[in-house]
Amino acid sequence: MSPTFVAAVLTAVIAASLHAQADTSSALSSRINGQALIRVSGRWGTRTLVGPRLSGRSLAFEGTELGLDSVDRIQVRGNAAGRGALIGAGIGLAGGLAMGIGLTSSLCNDGLGCRNAGGGSAFIALVSTAGGALLGALIGSTAKRWVTIYPGGGDSGLP
């Protein structure tokens, strides 16, 4: 590798890292300021905060301010739609393949064979995978869970 190539790659990586650090504060503010409830953890324990507001490196809630230096983790409410879609797609794929292979073997068992038996099985598997993913996402969207958006590393905290 040429030194020019290595220098170009390092420059791109460092620039992207600095850009990501600059965007972290505004992205974090937009995620926190739009929430009715967040869960904050630190050395002092875990608290659920009502109506939080992040400004710079300070988290305001219920008349109190807390520096992000004292926060180990911030979580917001989310859902399991993505995980549900993956599980549903997996179940749909397995069921579709089984159904497609079974249907093909029973319909193409007359000795004449089928011209496109594999294509039919693949189509059934594809449709059942998409259906399973949609159904899984729908079911998962109803399951609420806490999603971590900020891992920090502080040691002071709330009274």
| pLDDT tens for each residue of 33-59 | 877 888 888 888 888 888 888 888 888
Answer yes or no: is pLDDT of 3 > 70. no
Stretch 1-15: mean pLDDT, rounded? 61
Which of 5-19, 77-91, 95-109 is modeled with the greatest confidence? 77-91
- What's the distance, Cα to Cα, between the start and end of the chain in Å? 56
Q: Tell me the domain boundaries of the chain.
A: 3-78+145-151, 81-141
> Mean pLDDT, the chain, as a whole number?
77
> What residue type is assigned to position 33 of the chain?
N
More confident residue, 141 or 20: 141
Which pTM was predicted? 0.56
Task: Tell me the C-alpha distance between 120 and 111, whole Å.
Answer: 18
3-state secondary structure 42-95: ECCEEEEEECCEEECCEEEECCEEEEHHHCCEEEEEEECHHHHHHHHHHHHHHH
**Which token pair is 127?**
């449709």
| Per-residue pLDDT at 87 | 94
Confidence band for 13, pLDDT divided at 50, 70 and 90 = low
104-129: average pLDDT: 75
pLDDT confidence of residue 77? 87
Binned at pLDDT 50, 70 and 90, residue 101 comes out as: confident
